[in-house]
């Protein structure tokens, strides 16, 4: 059994144990979120099977929310690292009304074998809840943004301004099945489109299985790098 399988099996066992122990716990905290462990199947700048972890936590107040998220994807083949991607993000929202809100995003990402080496991004604008029911939510956002991108290890950071737009859909199809889709785009000095879709299937208590597919497009990838990467994930998620 290789190291990837060992790590994934151990992490999945830990999540299952914790989720079973807390299956009946009642949520009383303003915090909620999830921790994921995944097997990854990638194509584009790297084509392989690897391991990834991710997490998100949201604090919801009376008219504000704070969301912190992060991820790490990595792999070694014959002792040589051939995948190393990680990032973190923060989102703040302030509600003007039940539908209209202000949104601030900041993020950092490093991708040693991707379309760029490092990237910082920030955007601040407004959002609108097109739909907000018990089973379906859909929000759209628009904002000016700034990107700082380092294409290669020995390159300088390039600063660019762009228009940022995002659509986020969450559909509770049944009591045990949920679909989510987030589509984001930066259009301007550098054009980037990211489409992330996922199905969650409730297993037991706070434990769900998750199948997701990401399409990451960077029109201005440097020479020698592909502009499109795809990531398919299969894993387990523990919600809290």
What are 55-114's pLDDT values in tens digits?
999 999 989 999 999 999 877 665 666 667 899 999 999 999 999 999 999 999 988 777
The pLDDT of 3-21, averaged and rounded, is 47
Asked if 125 and 142 count as a contact pair (C-beta separation under 8 A), the reply is yes
pTM, entire model: 0.80
Domains located in the chain, CATH noted: 3-24+31-239 (2.40.160.40)
Separation CA 197–CA 215 (nearest Å): 9
Asked if 104 and 127 count as a contact pair (C-beta separation under 8 A), the reply is no
For the chain, the farthest-separated pair of C-alpha atoms sits apart, in whole angstroms, at: 55
pLDDT digits (tens, 9 = 90+) for 121-143: 999 999 999 999 999 999 999 99
Residue 202 has pLDDT above 90, yes or no: yes
How crowded is the C-beta side of 23, counted as CA atoms within 13 Å? 10
């Amino acid at each position: 059994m290789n190291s990837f399988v060992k790590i994934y099996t151990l992490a999945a066992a830990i999540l299952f144990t914790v989720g079973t122990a807390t299956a009946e716990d009642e949520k009383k905290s303003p915090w909620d979120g999830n921790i994921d462990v995944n097997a990854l199947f990638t194509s584009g700048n790297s084509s392989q099977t690897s391991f990834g972890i991710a997490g998100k936590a949201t604090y919801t107040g009376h008219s504000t929310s704070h969301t912190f998220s992060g991820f790490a994807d990595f792999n070694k083949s014959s002792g040589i690292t051939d995948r190393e991607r990680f990032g973190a993000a923060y989102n703040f929202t302030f509600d003007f009304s039940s539908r209209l809100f202000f949104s601030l995003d900041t993020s950092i990402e490093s991708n040693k074998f991707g379309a760029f080496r490092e990237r910082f991004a920030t955007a601040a604008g407004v959002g609108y809840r097109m739909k907000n029911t018990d089973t379906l939510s859909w929000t759209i956002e628009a904002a000016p943004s700034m990107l700082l991108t380092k294409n290669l290890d020995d390159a300088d950071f390039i600063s660019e301004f762009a228009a940022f737009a995002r659509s986020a859909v969450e559909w509770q199809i049944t009591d045990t099945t949920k679909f989510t889709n987030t589509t984001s785009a930066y259009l301007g000095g550098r054009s980037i489109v990211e489409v992330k879709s996922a199905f969650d299937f409730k297993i037991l208590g706070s434990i769900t299985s998750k199948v997701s597919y990401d399409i990451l497009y960077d029109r201005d990838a440097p020479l020698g790098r592909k502009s499109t990467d795809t990531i398919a994930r299969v894993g387990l998620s523990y919600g809290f």
